[in-house]
């Protein structure tokens, strides 16, 4: 990871909120009850990349699912307010959405790219069917040819050969599957994309390609991204702001620069120093915990 | 394509095993099989010279014929669709008797099985989809119904619906007093349906539980898969998620396991046909066994096996059609 | 019909984030033997379940749910009827009783057309049917162990040969085969019938066990044992079998009820054990004695009912085992209920707070 962050990271961010979450608490109704997310508040600005970092089990994924109303039993959102600020100026109370309203909201305003596209694609229908059905449901006016054209356009956007539209999930490599997932997520030109560890299961080289694709698309379409990962150095590279989560709470939030240079919370500092660097003397990390990242 | 070829080869081999079993079984006990059979039959009554001739032809009465030659001869006969002559209904050839009974069984058992499968899998899908609600409690009760012996259920149905309350006929495929034999008339068809209702009901009641349970379990498992979450996040309609995402995947094991369940249905319907005196393959087989009509019995065994293999193959085609992984994996 | 290709398909690729979901089928009811259901032996981490993955699949002892209790009661009840019943009833071979008596008085379940006491016959018949079922089930389980687990573990040529035999036996319809075999037998004792039934009913279980063994084969602890140089039989006995115990038990219980049903069917057709009284022969005689048309429900209903109740009991027990093998079956519905309960409590709390304010 590079030692220096340039100020280019802040291009495209307008400090205008697109999603406001206040006092969100989510618990798992098991025995004993597990409080996965404790009174979390955050604001996502239009077009920005917000990184959500933390180790496994800290609640970042649960929070993301909660934002999109995708929580599955035994998870239950016990309190909180989530407001989506549409481009048109209208404010949507996400928690109050129901039935058809919720369905229309999903994917159109907020879409998701899940962890490990291994299993996120339906194995028994073709890629074409899965790209088309989003369009069929949300844009009922589109003709079959229009849907096909759009699907081809989406695949080209993410760098997948459009002829693969006939393929099935098992015929694609991991990287390609993830790109298809991203193409699907872009289909309705959402205003927010939540990405949950989208590259964790991929090779490092492929990972870089995907990240670059995401950055490029974000520049082109200006959607906000909530990027969830445990890979803090990557977030430092690409995020505008970063929130660090520990045991269900946000312990630190700031711009990437601030976190990199001047992390306040001891956990953040610990996270930062846990990654060996490519530069620096060999053995430094193991012996002394030295890395070129980390607060001065 | 390779997938289908593999299956066909397998079925052909299985058929060969069945034929060979037919050949070997009577010869397992020591001594001349033909003589043993004739002795057995004479215990039941007089044995006519024609019957002796049939037996000898079937079991290779000439002891100077080697086992291998007899085997080849038998294979030859079977391939040329010569399954021998019946003893109980002498001199009707076995093939003729079988072809008379075949449509009854395929019609009744086939139709009832299809209905049972569709209802079971459909209900299982819905129950699995609505897990955690009161419908879950239906499930254990289906196990009670499922444990009932087919034929006992048949007896019960006859008792309740034909003897105590004569809603349906007690037996037979059609009213033998009214119709001399099968004919192509609406009245006949109606009569067939009338007579076939209780047997069909027996099959459906006994076997629907198995499919329901299997499908329900698979649905519960499938519902926690990642692609279901993706589908919901995509804001797709519930009906689409249920049909194309959940059911389509969850039904796969039910389809692949259809062949095995079919074996139970076949077993159950043999006995059931006996209870209802239904003129199908099952009843014919019982008649054959009771009358020591070995040619007919063995012929029936082959035909029943063939039918089961065919049903299996049809299911293989359906499976290959639904699951694209089979097509490219081979 | 389950085939090599399909069995491969139910074992999905492992993701880089850890060993996920090797799927294994289980059985829970009669037809389930054939329906290769997929089952998770170890759970993998998912966003909605905070439990970490287990390296070695453990299974808790069954919880005493309502289903289990009912199942056990039924099974134990029938077993007692067969074991102890005959000591309390009159001699089942006694034909001195007046014929075709409905239940009452000396004869709690009435008598048959030939003057036998139905209850006495029921008790001794249950004992015989249970014995046949037990023996046939045991033979079937042993055979399915050999053809299933050895084939699944060994792979290669052994697997091909064993699988082929298994698949052939699977597809050839069972009852017709048994009928053909029985017809050629000189003597038909209960032992012979049990053996024949056992020899023809193991293939379904074998398929399921083979899939299980195949997936377990690639588990870390099995590979570790292999690398450490342990011999195959020992690995199978020590590493693989214990984890398969719930599945084996389920298959065995299955096999027993299958055998009892098959014997009942055979006896009903007149091809059962000659000279013995079983639940099936009772039904055969009931029909021969025109029990139906004479309305003698006490003759033909009890034998079938005993079989049904026993089968139901075993199925319920199998249910519980199923929930052990596949925790999702229990967890998912329970999770839904818990969430609804929590929501209700929360709403109730809120409304009382509002009322108080």
Written as one string, the DSSP assignment of B155-176 is HHHHIIIIIIS-SS-SS-SS-T
CA dist B25 → B17, C141, C185 (Å): 12, 24, 9
Do residues A144 and A85 lie in contact, with contact meaning Cβ atoms separated by under 8 Å?
no
Give the pLDDT score at A275: 73
First to last CA, chain B: 8
Partner-chain contact B235 A108, CB within 8 Å: yes
pLDDT in tens, B47-78: 777 767 767 766 665 555 677 877 888 888 88
The mean pLDDT value for A164-189 works out to 89
Give helix B49-59 / helix B33-44 axis angle, nearest 10°: 150
Give helix B294-322 / helix B49-59 axis angle, nearest 10°: 40
Give the pLDDT score at A69: 86
Written as one string, the DSSP assignment of B114-165 is HHHHHHHHHHHHHHHHTTTSGGGGHHHHHHHHHHS-HHHHHHHHHIIIIIIS
CA distance A270 to A272: 5
Number of separate domains in chain C: 1
CA distance A129 to A115: 21
The mean pLDDT value for C71-89 works out to 85
CB half-sphere exposure, B190, CA atoms < 13 A: 4
CA distance B97 to A244: 80
- Asked if the structure places residue C329 within a domain, the reply is no
**Annotated domain spans of chain A:** 1-109+191-256, 119-189
CA distance C122 to C281: 10
Residues of B in contact with A125 (CB under 8 A): 244, 248
Q: What is the largest CA-CA distance in chain B?
A: 79
pLDDT band at A278 (very low <50, low <70, confident <90, very high): low
Provide CB contacts within 8 A for B99, sequence distance 6+.
none
Of A61, A76, A116, nearest to C343 by CB-CB distance is A76
Of A68, A104, A129, nearest to B233 by CB-CB distance is A68
Give the residue from B133, B227, B228, B327 with the most A CB atoms within 10 Å of its CB, the best one to mutate: B227
> CATH number, domain at C143?
1.10.3720.10
CA distance A51 to C125: 73
SS3 content of chain B, % helix, strand, coil (to 5): 80, 0, 20
Torsion of CA C147, C27, B211, B123, to 10 degrees: -160
Count of pairs with CB atoms under 8 A, one residue in B, one in C: 260
Stronger pLDDT, B143 or C31, i.e. the higher one: B143
DSSP structural state of residue A92: E
Residue tagged 């054209």 (tokens): A149
User: Which of residues 220 through 239 in chain B touch A, CB cutoff 8 A?
Assistant: 224-227, 229-237
- Asked if the structure places residue C18 within a domain, the reply is no
Torsion of CA C35, C36, C41, C42, to 10 degrees: -110
**CATH of span B94-293:** 1.10.3720.10
- Asked if the structure places residue C20 within a domain, the reply is no
Residue A113: closest CA among A34, A167, A185: A185
A73 touching B (Cβ < 8 Å): yes
Q: What is the pTM of this model?
A: 0.77
Partner-chain contact C168 B14, CB within 8 Å: yes
Provide CB contacts within 8 A for A22, sequence distance 6+.
A41, A80, A81, A82
Residues of B in contact with A181 (CB under 8 A): 230
Partner-chain contact C48 A74, CB within 8 Å: yes
Share of chain C above pLDDT 90, in %: 4
Partner-chain contact B144 C312, CB within 8 Å: yes
SS3 content of chain C, % helix, strand, coil (to 5): 65, 5, 30
Radius of gyration of chain B measured on its C-alpha atoms: 24
Do residues B74 and B279 lie in contact, with contact meaning Cβ atoms separated by under 8 Å?
no
- Model confidence at A2: pLDDT above 50: no
Range of the domain at C167: 82-93+108-324
The mean pLDDT value for B280-290 works out to 86
pLDDT band at C50 (very low <50, low <70, confident <90, very high): very low
CA distance C22 to C11: 5
Provide CB contacts within 8 A for B66, sequence distance 6+.
none
CATH 3.40.50.300 given to domain A1-109+191-256: yes
Do residues A51 and A235 lie in contact, with contact meaning Cβ atoms separated by under 8 Å?
yes
Of B230, B235, B245, nearest to A103 by CB-CB distance is B235
Residue tagged 């298809």 (tokens): A180
pLDDT band at C40 (very low <50, low <70, confident <90, very high): very low
Rounded to an integer, what is the distance from CA A115 to the centroid of its chain? Answer: 9
Torsion of CA C321, C122, C288, B263, to 10 degrees: 10
pLDDT in tens, C177-189: 888 888 877 677 8
Do residues C101 and C110 lie in contact, with contact meaning Cβ atoms separated by under 8 Å?
yes
Nearest-5° angle of CA B64, CA B66, CA B69? 120
Torsion of CA A132, A137, A142, A145, to 10 degrees: 20
User: A249 CA to chain B: closest CA distance, Å?
Assistant: 25
The mean pLDDT value for C251-271 works out to 86
Helix (H) or strand (E) holding B237: none
In the three-class reduction of DSSP (H, G, I as helix; E, B as strand; rest coil), residue C183 is classed as: helix
pLDDT in tens, A88-109: 888 888 888 888 888 889 999 9
CA distance B171 to B183: 19
Residue A265: closest CA among A288, A247, A246: A246
Residues of C in contact with A57 (CB under 8 A): 50
Give the pLDDT score at C52: 35
Residue A92, judged by CB atoms within 10 A of its CB (0-12, 13-18, 19+), counts as: middle
- Model confidence at A122: pLDDT above 60: yes
Q: Is the ipTM above a cut-off of 0.90?
A: no
Stronger pLDDT, C186 or B255, i.e. the higher one: B255
Helices (H), chain A: 60-67, 99-105, 127-138, 144-158, 174-186, 204-221, 232-238, 256-262, 266-272, 284-288
Give the residue from C48, C341, C346 with the most A CB atoms within 10 Å of its CB, the best one to mutate: C48
Stronger pLDDT, B154 or C105, i.e. the higher one: B154
DSSP structural state of residue A3: S
First to last CA, chain A: 17
Partner-chain contact B322 A73, CB within 8 Å: no
Give the residue from A54, A56, A65, A72 with the most C CB atoms within 10 Å of its CB, the best one to mutate: A72
Give the pLDDT score at B129: 86
Q: Compute φ and ψ for B301, nearest 5 degrees.
A: -55, -45
Partner-chain contact B149 C174, CB within 8 Å: no
pLDDT band at B269 (very low <50, low <70, confident <90, very high): confident
Give the pLDDT score at B30: 64
The mean pLDDT value for B156-175 works out to 73
C50 touching A (Cβ < 8 Å): yes
pLDDT in tens, C294-312: 777 788 888 888 888 888 8
Taking all residues of chain A, what is their mean pLDDT, rounded to a whole number? 84
Torsion of CA A43, A45, A46, A49, to 10 degrees: -110
- Model confidence at C219: pLDDT above 80: no
């Amino acid at each position: 990871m590079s030692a220096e962050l340039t100020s280019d990271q802040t291009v495209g961010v307008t400090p205008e909120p697109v999603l406001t979450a206040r006092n969100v608490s989510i618990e798992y109704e098991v025995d004993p009850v597990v409080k996965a997310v404790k009174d979390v508040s955050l604001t996502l600005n239009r077009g920005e990349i917000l990184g959500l970092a933390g180790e496994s089990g800290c609640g970042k994924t649960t929070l993301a699912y909660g934002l999109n109303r995708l929580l599955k039993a035994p998870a239950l959102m016990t309190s909180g307010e989530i407001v989506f600020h549409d481009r048109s100026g209208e404010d949507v109370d996400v928690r109050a959405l129901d039935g058809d309203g919720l369905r229309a909201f999903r994917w159109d305003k907020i879409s998701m790219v899940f962890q490990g596209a291994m299993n996120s694609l339906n194995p028994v229908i073709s890629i074409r069917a899965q790209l088309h059905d989003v369009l069929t449901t949300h844009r009922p006016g589109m003709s079959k040819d229009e849907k096909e054209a759009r699907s081809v356009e989406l695949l080209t956007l993410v760098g997948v050969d459009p002829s693969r539209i006939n393929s099935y999930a098992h015929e694609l490599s991991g990287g390609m599957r993830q790109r298809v997932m991203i193409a699907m997520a872009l289909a309705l030109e959402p205003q927010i994309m939540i990405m949950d560890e989208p590259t964790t299961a991929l090779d490092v080289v492929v990972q870089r390609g995907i990240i670059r694709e995401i950055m490029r698309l974000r520049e082109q379409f200006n959607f906000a991204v909530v990027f969830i990962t445990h890979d803090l150095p990557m977030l430092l590279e690409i995020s505008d702001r970063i929130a660090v989560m520990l045991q269900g709470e946000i312990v630190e939030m700031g711009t990437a620069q601030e976190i990199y240079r001047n992390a306040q919370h001891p956990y953040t500092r610990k996270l930062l120093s846990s990654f060996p660097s490519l530069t620096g003397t060999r053995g430094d990390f193991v012996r002394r915990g030295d890395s070129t990242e980390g607060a001065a | 394509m390779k997938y289908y070829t593999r299956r066909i080869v397998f079925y052909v081999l299985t058929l060969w095993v069945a034929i060979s079993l037919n050949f070997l079984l009577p010869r397992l006990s020591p001594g001349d099989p033909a003589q043993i059979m004739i002795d057995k039959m004479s215990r039941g009554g007089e044995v006519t010279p024609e019957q002796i001739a049939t037996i000898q032809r079937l079991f290779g009465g000439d002891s100077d014929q080697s086992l291998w030659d007899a085997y080849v001869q038998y294979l030859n006969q079977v391939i040329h669709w010569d399954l021998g002559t019946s003893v109980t209904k002498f001199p009707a050839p076995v093939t003729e008797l079988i072809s008379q009974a075949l449509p009854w069984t395929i019609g009744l058992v086939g139709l009832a099985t299809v209905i049972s499968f569709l209802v079971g899998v459909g209900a299982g899908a819905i129950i699995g989809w609505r897990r955690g609600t009161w419908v879950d409690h239906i499930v254990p009760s289906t196990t009670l119904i499922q444990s009932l012996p087919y034929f006992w259920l048949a007896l019960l149905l006859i008792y309740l619906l034909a003897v105590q309350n004569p809603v349906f006929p007690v037996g037979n495929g059609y009213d033998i007093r009214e119709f001399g034999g099968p004919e192509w008339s609406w009245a006949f068809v109606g009569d067939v349906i009338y007579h076939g209702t209780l047997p069909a009901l027996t099959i459906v009641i006994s076997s629907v539980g198995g499919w329901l349970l299997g499908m329900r379990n698979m649905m519960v498992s499938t519902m926690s898969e990642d692609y279901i979450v993706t589908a919901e996040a995509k804001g797709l309609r519930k009906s689409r998620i249920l049909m194309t995402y959940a059911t389509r995947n969850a039904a796969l094991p039910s389809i692949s396991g259809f062949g095995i369940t079919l074996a139970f249905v076949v077993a159950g319907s043999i006995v059931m046909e006996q209870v209802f005196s239904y003129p199908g393959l099952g009843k014919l087989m019982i008649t054959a066994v009771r009358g020591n009509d070995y040619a007919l019995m063995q012929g029936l065994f082959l035909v029943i096996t063939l039918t089961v293999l065919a049903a299996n193959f049809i299911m293989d085609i359906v499976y290959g059609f639904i699951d694209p992984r089979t097509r490219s994996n081979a | 019909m389950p085939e090599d290709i399909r069995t491969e398909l139910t074992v999905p690729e492992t993701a880089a984030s850890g060993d996920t979901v090797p799927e294994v089928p289980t059985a829970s009811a009669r037809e389930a033997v054939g329906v290769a259901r997929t089952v998770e032996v170890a759970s993998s981490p998912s966003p909605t379940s905070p439990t970490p993955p287990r390296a070695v699949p453990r299974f808790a002892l069954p919880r005493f749910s309502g289903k289990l209790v009912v199942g056990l009661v039924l099974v134990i009840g029938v077993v007692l009827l067969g074991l102890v019943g005959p000591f309390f009833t009159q001699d089942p071979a006694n034909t001195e009783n007046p014929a075709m008596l409905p239940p009452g008085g000396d004869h709690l379940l009435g008598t048959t057309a030939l003057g036998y006491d139905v209850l006495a016959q029921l008790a001794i018949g249950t004992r015989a049917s249970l014995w046949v079922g037990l023996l046939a089930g045991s033979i079937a389980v042993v055979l399915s162990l050999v053809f299933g687990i050895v084939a699944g573990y060994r792979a290669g040529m052994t697997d091909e040969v064993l699988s082929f035999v298994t698949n052939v036996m699977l597809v050839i319809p069972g009852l017709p085969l048994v009928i053909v075999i029985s017809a050629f037998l000189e003597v038909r004792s209960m032992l012979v019938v049990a053996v024949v039934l056992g020899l023809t009913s193991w293939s379904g279980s074998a398929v399921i066990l083979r899939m299980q063994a195949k997936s377990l084969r690639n588990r870390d602890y099995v590979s570790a044992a292999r690398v450490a140089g342990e011999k195959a039989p020992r690995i199978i006995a020590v590493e693989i079998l214990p984890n398969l115990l719930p599945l084996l038990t389920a298959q065995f219980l299955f096999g027993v009820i299958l055998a009892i049903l098959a014997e009942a069917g055979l006896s009903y057709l007149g091809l059962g054990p000659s000279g013995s009284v079983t639940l099936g022969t009772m039904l055969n005689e009931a029909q021969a004695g025109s029990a139906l048309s004479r309305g003698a429900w006490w003759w033909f209903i009890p034998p079938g009912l005993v079989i049904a109740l026993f089968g139901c009991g075993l199925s319920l027990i199998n249910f519980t085992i199923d929930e052990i093998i596949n925790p999702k079956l229990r967890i998912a519905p329970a999770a839904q209920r818990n969430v609804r309960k929590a929501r209700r409590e929360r709403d109730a709390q809120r409304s009382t707070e509002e009322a108080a304010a």
